[in-house]
A and B are shown apart, each in its own frame.
Chain A
Amino acid sequence: MSTKTKPETATPSNHITGSEAVVRCLLEEGVDLIFGYPGGAIMPVYDELYKYSDQIHHVLVRHEQGATHAAQGYARSSGRVGACIATSGPGATNLVTGIADAMIDSTPMVCITGQVPKHLLGSDAFQETDVMGITIPITKWSFQITEASEIPEVFAKAFYIAKSGRPGPVVIDITKNAQFGKLDYQYEHCEVVKTYVSRPEIGKNELQEAADLINSAERPYILFGQGVILSEAEEELKSLVEKAGIPAAWTILGLSAMNTDHPLNVGMLGMHGNYGPNVMINECDVMIAIGMRFDDRVTGNLDKFAKQAKVIHLEIDRAEIDKNVKTDVALVGDAKEVLSLLTPLVNTNTHESWHQRFKECDVMEFDKVIRNECDPTEGMMTMGEVIKNINQHTHGEAIIVTDVGQHQMVACRYAEFKQTKSNITSGGLGTMGFGLPAAIGAKLGAPDRQVIAVVGDGGIQMTIEELGVILQTDVHVKIVLLNNEFLGMVRQWQQLFFDKRYSATEMINPDFQKIAEAYKIEAKRIDDRADLDKSIEDMLNHDGAYFLEVMVGKENNVFPMVPSGAGVSEIRLE
């Protein structure tokens, strides 16, 4: 589908309309799939999408928010730029949540919005809204095109900015007159923007200082995030970890950048991360943070975070250095590039007694939390046992997409990964409703892989309309709804911190099975543990999308937990 020019039947004219230029720019950037929703101010572009439908597959979402999350899922499973398109006014404002999500989670995405004609700008015209004003704070870059001739250069720049450096969302707002107007089309890919450094030069001194610190460390500890995946530095990370024998923990967005079962992968950081990775933050002597940004859900109380440690921070975004955690050595640069230069400078080591400390913590966590969560024998099913069962069937080969809430934390804690780009979740923004559309996008971005959306009964109802995409586009996504009939994470906090005053968290839910079936999706609901294994197996073997609703314990909690405002060492196991 990714042919870059029109068929050879006729040489395409280069004196074309702005709307045709938009489509040809997309083709130049390798876009063969776009998520969107038509409307008045973007109709000329939709008319061209119709003509170019053999080269660009347009996926009609049911709400523009779904287009952004699908584009995000697509970008994260494929490593390419996600594209979405909407009309002006409400079409554009409906993109806002997904743009903000892509911004905070560094997802490369280009959003195209229609706009009223130039002469009506500022006149409160029908479906006019100040898209630039609204999206500037939540985009890496944005531009309003008001003349057709601006289109090629702006698109080239937009795609370059979206995917280079620390990736992020870009908005291109195109007035309708620019879509109708003519231009002499010529496309040049953008490789540099004068005011923007996408690949900072790496400091040689800093590299040596970092290596010296690592070589002198007795208890070195690597924390890695999505930067490893975005720069495709998985092998380089593995080389460093193995050569220097350093235990490595992943952030929620770093999941799958290493194999789960790698002996030096100690697990997940953060509020609901693993016990050892949290506690050892305050035990290590050298901390090496790679492609992560010390989010407050990772650090807990900063005054109680790694105060004893020397900190090396490898990060492509200079603004992240010293933002939350004071750094001793800053390695500003691309993770792949820096790691490939750093690893030759570090000594071979094993740090065995230090590893042992993590293993002791693992035993405690298993006894207090994991055994009960993943291997219960009585009572309602737990989220953990569902994830464990999925692991047993997929052997860590599936892409796991989650929504936001308890099920997300449980899925991220227990899902096993053997391939990179296999965990897609809304980490920074915590966007409920992300899961279903993101899973659809992820499947379209990686059609040969099994994609499982793990969602909760709250989140799925925020974007459940996207089941329509599964129906219309025949996307073979497996949806596992972990239904506890509560907004579980908020309920957990109400239980622990608000004396069980369950304010507005109990859900009276619809018959999800009927909803799925109305969209012609095979569906099943189970509430008996005895049916779990077979149901998961049937779901995965089914040739098509599948909706499996699993009734789980209503008032189960996710542990461990670093209470809000506490230090990471104050993590609670129960």
Chain B
Amino acid sequence: MPTETIILWILYAIMFLMSPIGAIIVQIKKDKEEKQKKEEKK
């Protein structure tokens, strides 16, 4: 496959994968915060 096409595929995938990656990062952050709060309460 031409190199330009491979770059296009990568860009296309990144465009759509922004939201799954974003959601996972935010969720990990929230889980950490919650865990920290629970520990503080203990």
Q: Does B bind A?
A: no
Residues of A within 8 A of B (CB): none
